Amino acid sequence: MEVHVQPTTRSKMFCGCAIGELGDPPNSNVCEICLGMPGVLPVINKAAVEACLKTALALSCEIPRHTKFDRKNYMYPDLPKGYQISQYDLPMSRNGFIDIGERRVRIRRVHLEEDTGKLIHAGDKLQSAKESFVDLNRAGVPLMEIVSEPDLRSADEARDYAVALRTLLRTIGASEAEMEKGQLRAEPNISIRRSGTDDLGVKTELKNINSFRALHHAIVHEVARQVEVLESGGTVVQETRGWSETEQRTFSQRSKELAEDYRYFPEPDLPPLELDPTWVESLRRFLPELPGARRSRLVSQYGMAVTNAGFLAADRELADLFEDAVAAGADARQTANWVIGEVAPERKLVSAKYLAEIVMLVSSGSITRDQAQEVHAESASTGKAPSQIVSDRGFAQVSDESAIREVVDAVMAANPRAVEDYRAGKKQALSALMADVKAKDPQANPKVASDLLRQLLG
């Protein structure tokens, strides 16, 4: 699998142009260098090199001391230079790996290159206006290319691998890796083999897949297509294929070029790049804890379920919030549940100190869960301290049985029908009675109230 990732940088790979935003006017973030004018000189973006090295280190790659850029020559209307600056025989890193569940996927290389522009065909829908336009805002945007060895064995593994890469890239801050924005594009190479043999058949490459769903579907369909071709006596030809989301099928785009066709040669306008080992080591030292390691630690340190640990470890901000709130005194299990159930869905972020306060207010029984949700939402939007909100709004929880007994008695007296239904076996009548208890006294501890109700209903 080849994955192209846009590292987080302010400027392009070899010029000072801004990366810009998706809706920017066409050809507004361009200069002589990324427009491919003759006689201009590219300059290497240090931030892109740093992001690429961090990614390679997080994937346990070897970092060589000497690396260089090369020209990959081909003609295409969205590539005004007539070549892409990429890396050929001396990439920035080699021989890494990442573990996906039980499967170790070897990483062949992670190298740096530049993106191309974009063609817009106006005649696709309107038959009358057959015009094509080119937008070069993306030309020269840095890309890291992450190439794996052929170790993935199924569509599921391929998707899990892409998801794991996204998590890793976000954790180390190398890329935002938003697939919808084209910041992470997957190109799976697919071949099949007869069961019981080791020889892989001829491979096809699927181009520019930009969602995890499409990646999974495209591989499933391409495998089925190759099986059908072979079983009907045909041969699979090496080619690049596209994936049509609307038709749910792959289709031939062009026969695959061989590396020799590109006539790679060293980029004469850039000096070879010497990677100072001291710099590389300092990048390694400052890598944060990686998602796989953090998931295992969350399980062993807090006794957390593996799925919850995986959920938190995949999101550095949430995992940090969880650990900081526990350090501030909140119970680990309840904090994990609160972060996953209340903070994550709408990203209602509060500080770790406030989160710990909210969790402790619930676990001590001082306020109800419903009240805590309101406190949380208000604290997240106003920044007010939870204790302040509780006292301003007069929130409290009454757990005293005799006080709740009065409310429960009154509710039962007012709803003889529901009481009868419950006693006749319609257990769902309990929730109607509980709703009335809550409406009559929002501070009543719901656990005490429902226990009491059940007991009185017999």
Contact residues toward Mn ion (CB under 5 A) are 145
Tell me the closest approach of the beta carbon of residue 177 to Mn ion, in angstroms.
Answer: 16
Cβ proximity to Mn ion: between 3 and 218 the closer is: 3
Cβ proximity to Mn ion: between 207 and 333 the closer is: 207
How is residue 426 written in tokens? 């319609």
Cβ proximity to Mn ion: between 145 and 160 the closer is: 145
Residues whose CB is less than 8 angstroms from the CB of residue 180 and which lie 6 or more positions away in sequence, other chains included: 210, 211
Tell me the closest approach of the beta carbon of residue 4 to Mn ion, in angstroms.
Answer: 6
**Distance between CA atoms of residues 372 and 348, nearest Å:** 13
Identify which range of 11-19, 170-178, 195-203, 440-448 contacts Zn ion by CB under 5 A: 11-19
Structural contact between residues 9 and 183, judged by C-beta atoms closer than 8 angstroms? no
Task: Tell me which of Zn ion, Mn ion, none is bound by residue 146, counting a contact when its beta carbon lies within the kind-specific cut-off of 5 to 8 angstroms.
Answer: none
Token pair 């007296």: residue: 413
Tell me the closest approach of the beta carbon of residue 47 to Zn ion, in angstroms.
Answer: 15
Answer yes or no whether residue 34 interacts with Zn ion by CB under 5 A. Answer: yes
Instruction: Single out the residue of 409, 399, 417, 418 nearest to residue 440, CA to CA.
Output: 409
Give the C-alpha distances (Å, rounded to integers) separating 27 from 34, 120, 143. Answer: 10, 13, 19
Cβ proximity to Zn ion: between 37 and 306 the closer is: 37
Which of residues 1, 3, 13, 17 is near Zn ion by CB under 5 A?
17
Residues whose CB is less than 8 angstroms from the CB of residue 398 and which lie 6 or more positions away in sequence, other chains included: 404, 441, 443, 444, 445
Identify which range of 13-21, 37-45, 242-250, 354-362 contacts Zn ion by CB under 5 A: 13-21
Tell me the closest approach of the beta carbon of residue 139 to Zn ion, in angstroms.
Answer: 8
How is residue 132 written in tokens? 């094509």
Which of residues 31, 134, 229, 396 is near Zn ion by CB under 5 A?
31
Residues whose CB is less than 8 angstroms from the CB of residue 310 and which lie 6 or more positions away in sequence, other chains included: 295
Task: Tell me which of Mn ion, Zn ion, none is bound by residue 31, counting a contact when its beta carbon lies within the kind-specific cut-off of 5 to 8 angstroms.
Answer: Zn ion
Answer yes or no whether residue 48 interacts with Zn ion by CB under 5 A. Answer: no
Answer yes or no whether residue 15 interacts with Zn ion by CB under 5 A. Answer: yes
Residue closest to Mn ion when measured from CB atoms: 145
Task: Tell me which of Mn ion, Zn ion, none is bound by residue 1, counting a contact when its beta carbon lies within the kind-specific cut-off of 5 to 8 angstroms.
Answer: none
β-sheet bridge partners, residue 101: none
Give the pairing type, strands 204-206 and 239-244: parallel
**Distance between CA atoms of residues 330 and 325, nearest Å:** 6
Tell me the closest approach of the beta carbon of residue 208 to Mn ion, in angstroms.
Answer: 11
# chain residues binding Zn ion, by CB under 5 A: 5
Structural contact between residues 442 and 371, judged by C-beta atoms closer than 8 angstroms? yes
Instruction: Single out the residue of 122, 144, 146 nearest to residue 135, CA to CA.
Output: 122
**Distance between CA atoms of residues 147 and 3, nearest Å:** 7
Answer yes or no whether residue 40 interacts with Zn ion by CB under 5 A. Answer: no
Identify which range of 7-15, 151-159, 379-387, 407-415 contacts Zn ion by CB under 5 A: 7-15
Instruction: Single out the residue of 278, 441, 297 nearest to residue 371, CA to CA.
Output: 441
In degrees, rounded to 5, the angle at the alpha carbon of residue 166 between the alpha carbons of residues 60 and 100 is 60
Task: Tell me which of Zn ion, Mn ion, none is bound by residue 114, counting a contact when its beta carbon lies within the kind-specific cut-off of 5 to 8 angstroms.
Answer: none
Give the pairing type, strands 239-244 and 249-255: antiparallel
Cβ proximity to Zn ion: between 17 and 63 the closer is: 17
Tell me the closest approach of the beta carbon of residue 100 to Zn ion, in angstroms.
Answer: 37
Cβ proximity to Mn ion: between 147 and 223 the closer is: 147
Cβ proximity to Mn ion: between 145 and 342 the closer is: 145
Identify which range of 29-37, 70-78, 223-231, 432-440 contacts Zn ion by CB under 5 A: 29-37
Token pair 């020269």: residue: 140
Tell me the closest approach of the beta carbon of residue 145 to Mn ion, in angstroms.
Answer: 4
Task: Tell me which of Zn ion, Mn ion, none is bound by residue 145, counting a contact when its beta carbon lies within the kind-specific cut-off of 5 to 8 angstroms.
Answer: Mn ion
Instruction: Single out the residue of 345, 347, 369, 344 nearest to residue 358, CA to CA.
Output: 369
β-sheet bridge partners, residue 114: 142
**Distance between CA atoms of residues 438 and 432, nearest Å:** 10
Token pair 């691998």: residue: 161
Answer yes or no whether residue 219 interacts with Zn ion by CB under 5 A. Answer: no
Tell me the closest approach of the beta carbon of residue 113 to Zn ion, in angstroms.
Answer: 15
Footprint of Zn ion (CB under 5 A): 15, 17, 31, 33-34
